[in-house]
């Protein structure tokens, strides 16, 4: 699996902050990543937290784990 980190500066509702996510390189849309962090105070903070999580995910994949996308992991049974 080819994962990538994306870091974006956001200006939602007049509040500037940084967003980071980890997704498959073949999925260019930020709609359902494997992991994300919002409201980081700076670009270095967003990059540091995303790279740390990428390291964790890589170790899990090396052990044969299956990654779940954020929406898959948070589904509520009705």
Q: Is the dihedral of CA 28, 32, 36, 41 positive or negative?
A: positive
Give the least confident one: 6-10, 16-20, 25-29, 44-48: 25-29
Position 74 confidence tier, pLDDT thresholds 50, 70, 90: low
Taking residues 62-67, what's their average pLDDT? Answer: 93
- pTM for the full predicted model: 0.81
Q: Which of 28, 6, 34 lies closest to 19 in space, CA to CA?
A: 6
12 or 24: which carries more pLDDT confidence?
A: 24
């Amino acid at each position: 699996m080819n994962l990538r980190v994306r870091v974006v500066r956001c200006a939602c509702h007049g509040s500037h902050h940084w967003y980071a996510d980890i997704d498959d390189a073949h999925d260019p849309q930020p709609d359902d990543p494997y992991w994300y962090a919002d409201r980081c105070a700076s670009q270095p903070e967003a990059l540091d937290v995303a790279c740390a999580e990428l390291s964790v995910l890589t170790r899990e994949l090396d052990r044969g784990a299956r990654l779940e996308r954020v929406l898959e992991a948070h589904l509520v049974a009705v």
